[in-house]
Amino acid sequence: HGALRLLVVDDDLAIRSFVQVALEDEGYEVHTAADGKDALTCVAAMAPGGPDAVLLDMNMPRMNGWQFAAAYRATEVPPPHGAIIVMTAATDAAQWCRDVNGDACLGKPFDLDDLYRTVEKQTRRAA
């Protein structure tokens, strides 16, 4: 799956780096952003097509996960938009995932098996 492109959006550098390295080791092309505004810039730069999946933190400065998800789904990137995988430590993670029409939810902290399994499942349709 070397051609699959992922976007990791999290204001926590440690999490961003951990996820990036783990997924690059699995052969994905990984782009990162520290908040929703940077993420939208990344999506535009990845055109045509955009990312095959977005791993999205919800609580971020400048533009949070809810704002990003709404803007992302409204972008000019031709559908189908890549899956949104919500990454959060919140107890209401499942509700947040529904709020943004997320495709999957990863509760923090998550282990590598959960990460790989979730990303593989959500990108299988893009391959």
* Distance from C-alpha of 9 to C-alpha of 65, rounded to nearest angstrom: 9
Interhelix angle 13-25/112-123, nearest 10 degrees = 70
pLDDT at 100: 84
The domain total for the chain is: 1
Q: Taking Cα atoms as reference points, which of 25, 113, 115 lies closest to residue 105? A: 115
Q: Taking Cα atoms as reference points, which of 34, 38, 69, 64 lies closest to residue 53? A: 69
Q: Per residue in 5-42, pLDDT tens?
A: 999 999 999 999 999 999 999 999 999 999 999 999 99
pLDDT at 58: 92
CATH number, domain containing residue 21? 3.40.50.2300
Strand runs (DSSP E) across the chain, as ranges?
5-9, 29-33, 53-57, 83-88, 104-107
pTM score of the predicted model: 0.91
pLDDT per residue of the chain (127 residues) written in tens, 0 to 9: 447 999 999 999 999 999 999 999 999 999 999 999 999 999 989 877 789 999 999 999 999 999 999 998 887 665 567 899 999 887 787 888 888 888 999 988 899 999 999 999 998 865 5
Domain range for residue 121?
5-126
